[in-house]
C-alpha cells in the first residue's frame, strides 16, 4: 500500500484533504494525524476490523487497548456508562486537551478496540486538525500513538513515515506537535481515581479539580507518592517502550559530578571505538569532551525538554549511537512525565552519582 503524506495548515485547512482522510477512516482504513500530544494512528473506533489493522500496522500486542478520540463532550455518554460526576468536572476543565479518562465502556465500543477490557479510554484532543478529522469522518477515532510498537512516539510526520510507510493509507502532516509527550491517563473506575500514566496535566492539577487522586505503582520510582494498586493497570505500561537502539543510561546527582561521570564514560566508550550520544541541556552542552552531544533544551524549560525527548532518541537511532548517556531532570510537574518516559527508555538504568 502506498502511504500518502498530505501537508495540512491549521490556520487554513484544506477541506478536500480532510474529506479524503475522513473517507479513509469511514471506509475502515487508517490515517495518522497530529494531536497536541503526539501523532495518532487513527481508525474507526466502532469497527473491529479497523482496530485489528491498527494493531497490525504498529506490531502492537492486541491486549494493549486504544484511546478513543472524540470532538464533543456529549460523546462521553455514548461511549461510556456509569460515568461519575468527576468525569464531567475533568472534561469541563481539561477538554479539549491532553487528558485521557478510563471509564466503563458502553456496548457501542467493540472489545477489539479496548484490548478485551470492559473499560474504554476516551480523550477529546485540542489540535484543530484532529478535531476536524473526527468531525468530518462522523466517527469516534481509535488512535494509539503513530509509532511502531516499542519505538519512541512520533512528534512529526517524518517520524510517522519512518515507522509506518506502506502500512497505512495516509498521514496528515501538520508539522511538529506542541507537547511531545502522550496524554495523562486517569482511571475513574476506581473509588479514588488513579493516574495510570503521567503527562502534561499534572497530579496537582487533577487534585485541584476533583480532590484526592492516587498514582499507579507501575509508574512509580521514588516511593514518595501513595501507590495503587500493586501492578501496572494500563496494559500499555508493562511493555518495553520508547526504547532507542543504543544502550541508554541516566545519570542523576549534582550537575558537576554528573558531567564528570558522563565524561569518564564517554572517554571509556570512545576509546573502545563505540559511537556515543549525550543528552545534555542548554546549560551543559559545552561541558562534554566528545561524542554526539545534543541539547534537549534549557533545564528551566520543561516544555522544551518534553517536546524534544522523543525526537532526540530517534535522532540517536538514525546516527547509530551504541551508548547514550543522559542527564536527569526534575521529577516535579511536567518533569514527572519526562522522567517516566526517559527511565522507561533506559529500561530503568539509572546511576546515582
Cβ 180 to ligand AMP shortest distance, Å: 13
54 binds ligand AMP (CB under 6 A): no
SS3 218: helix
In whole angstroms, give the CA distance from residue 267 to residue 248.
16
Bridge partners, residue 7, by sequence: 173
How many residues bind ligand AMP (CB under 6 A)? The answer is 20
Cell of residue 15, nine digits: 477541506
What does DSSP assign to residue 76? H
Work out which of 13, 52, 64, 245 binds ligand AMP, going by CB under 6 A: 64
Separation in Å, CA 192 to CA 188, 228, 286: 8, 10, 47
Residues 341, 244 contacting (CB under 8 angstroms): no
Q: Is 144 in the site for ligand AMP (CB under 6 A)?
A: yes
Minimum CB–partner distance for residue 58 and Mg ion (Å): 8
- Element (H or E) spanning 31, and its range? strand 31-34
Binding marks (x or -) toward ligand AMP, 237..266, rule CB under 6 A? x-----------------------------
202 lies in the site for ligand AMP, by CB under 6 A: no
Interface with Mg ion (CB under 5 A), residue total 1
CB of 34 to ligand AMP, least distance (A): 14
Residue numbers 127-186 binding Mg ion by CB under 5 A: 145
Taking the complex as a whole, how short is the minimal distance between the CB of residue 28 and ligand AMP, in angstroms?
20
Alpha helix (H) ranges present in 294-332? 302-318
d(CA 242, CA 120): 23
Q: In whole angstroms, give the CA distance from residue 13 to residue 335.
A: 34
Nearer to ligand AMP, 280 or 309 (CB): 309
Interactions with ligand AMP, residue window 213-242 (CB under 6 A): 233-237
Nearer to ligand AMP, 14 or 63 (CB): 63
Q: How far is the CB of 55 from ligand AMP (least distance, A)?
A: 11
DSSP state of 152: P
- CA distances 82 to 91, 120, 188, 190, Å, are 15, 12, 10, 12
Q: Does 110 bind ligand AMP (CB under 6 A)?
A: no
114 makes contact, choosing from Mg ion, ligand AMP, none, with CB < 5 to 8 Å by partner type, with: ligand AMP
The CB-of-60 to Mg ion minimum distance in angstroms stands at: 8
Nearest 5°: phi and psi at 246? Answer: -80, 170
Residue closer to Mg ion (CB basis): 145 or 202: 145
According to the binding rule CB under 6 A, does residue 121 interact with ligand AMP? yes
Which of Mg ion, ligand AMP, none sits in contact with 258, Cβ below 5 to 8 A by type? Answer: none
Nearer to ligand AMP, 64 or 263 (CB): 64
Start-to-end CA distance of the chain, whole Å, equals 50
| Residue 286 C-beta: closest distance to ligand AMP, Å | 35
Q: How far apart are CA 262 and CA 298, in angstroms?
A: 19
Q: Is 185 in the site for ligand AMP (CB under 6 A)?
A: yes
- Using CA atoms, how far apart are residues 89 and 209, in angstroms rounded to an integer? 7
99 binding ligand AMP? (CB under 6 A): no
Query: In which region does residue 215 sit, left (phi positive, over 0), alpha (psi from -120 to 50) or beta (all else)?
Result: beta
Is residue 340 within the footprint of Mg ion (CB under 5 A)? no
Residues engaged in binding ligand AMP (CB under 6 A):
64-65, 67, 102, 114, 117, 119-121, 144-145, 182, 185, 196-197, 233-237
Amino acid at each position: 500500500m502506498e502511504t500518502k503524506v498530505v501537508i495540512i495548515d491549521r490556520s487554513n485547512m484544506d477541506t478536500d484533504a480532510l474529506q479524503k482522510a475522513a473517507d479513509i477512516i469511514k471506509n475502515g482504513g487508517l490515517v495518522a494525524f497530529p494531536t497536541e500530544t503526539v501523532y495518532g494512528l487513527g481508525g474507526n473506533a466502532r469497527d473491529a476490523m479497523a482496530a485489528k489493522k491498527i494493531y497490525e500496522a504498529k506490531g502492537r500486542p492486541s491486549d494493549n487497548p486504544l484511546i478513543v478520540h472524540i470532538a464533543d463532550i456529549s460523546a462521553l455518554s455514548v461511549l461510556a456508562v456509569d460515568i461519575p460526576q468527576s468525569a464531567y468536572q475533568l472534561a469541563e476543565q481539561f477538554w479539549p486537551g491532553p487528558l485521557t479518562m478510563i471509564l466503563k465502556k458502553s456496548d457501542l465500543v467493540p472489545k477489539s478496540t479496548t484490548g478485551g477490557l470492559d473499560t474504554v479510554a476516551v480523550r477529546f484532543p485540542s489540535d484543530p486538525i484532529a478535531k476536524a478529522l473526527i468531525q468530518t469522518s462522523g466517527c469516534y477515532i481509535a488512535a494509539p500513538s503513530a509509532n511502531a510498537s516499542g519505538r519512541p512516539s512520533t512528534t512529526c510526520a517524518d517520524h510517522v513515515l519512518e515507522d509506518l510507510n506502506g502500512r497505512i493509507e495516509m498521514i496528515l502532516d501538520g508539522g511538529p506537535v506542541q507537547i511531545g509527550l502522550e496524554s495523562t491517563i486517569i482511571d475513574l473506575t476506581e473509588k479514588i481515581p488513579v493516574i495510570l500514566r503521567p503527562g502534561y496535566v499534572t497530579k496537582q492539577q487533577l487534585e485541584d479539580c476533583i480532590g484526592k487522586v492516587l498514582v499507579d505503582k507501575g509508574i512509580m520510582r521514588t516511593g514518595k507518592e501513595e501507590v495503587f494498586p500493586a501492578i501496572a493497570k494500563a496494559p500499555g505500561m508493562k511493555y518495553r517502550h520508547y526504547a532507542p537502539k543504543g544502550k541508554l543510561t541516566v545519570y542523576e546527582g549534582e550537575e558537576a559530578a554528573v558531567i564528570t561521570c558522563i565524561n569518564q564514560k564517554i572517554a571509556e566508550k570512545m576509546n573502545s571505538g563505540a559511537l556515543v550520544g549525550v543528552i545534555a541541556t542548554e546549560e551543559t552542552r559545552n561541558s562534554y569532551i566528545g561524542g554526539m552531544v545534543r541539547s534537549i533544551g534549557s533545564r528551566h524549560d520543561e516544555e522544551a525538554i518534553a517536546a524534544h525527548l522523543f525526537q532526540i532518541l530517534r535522532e540517536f537511532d538514525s546516527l547509530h549511537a551504541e551508548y547514550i548517556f543522559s542527564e536527569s531532570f526534575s521529577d516535579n510537574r511536567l518533569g514527572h512525565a519526562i522522567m517516566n518516559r526517559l527511565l522507561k527508555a533506559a529500561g530503568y538504568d539509572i546511576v546515582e552519582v
